[in-house]
Each structure stands twice: as C-alpha cells, then as structure tokens.
Amino acid sequence: STLSESANQVFLGFTYVAPSVLESVKEKFSFEPKIRSPRRFIGSPRTPVR
C-alpha cells in the first residue's frame, strides 16, 4: 500500500512538472536542432530517427 502511494505521488509530481519540462525541451531543440537524436529523447518510437 505504501509503495503504491509513493508511486502515485511520484506520478502526480511528474504530471505536474512535465508541461514545463516539455516546453524547455521544445525550446532547446528548436534552438539546437543538431543535437543527437532529439526525437529519441522526446520518446516517439513511431518517428524514424536518422
């Protein structure tokens, strides 16, 4: 029970932080598009990485 509660809090914290993190990631990659495999970092396996 305690483990699931802590995991749930971690998940909530991640969902709270995620939007700002995504924004910073988008800005960083828009300014530096030559970074190694940005799509793989974002995590979309359907997009071909080259």
Check residue 43 and give its pLDDT. 56
Q: How far apart are CA 17 and CA 27, in angstroms?
A: 16
What would the pLDDT profile of 12-41 be if each residue is shown by its tens digit?
766 666 677 778 777 766 655 555 555 555
Query: Whole-model pTM above 0.85?
Result: no
Give me the residue label for tokens 């995504």: 22
Residue 1, SS3 per DSSP: coil
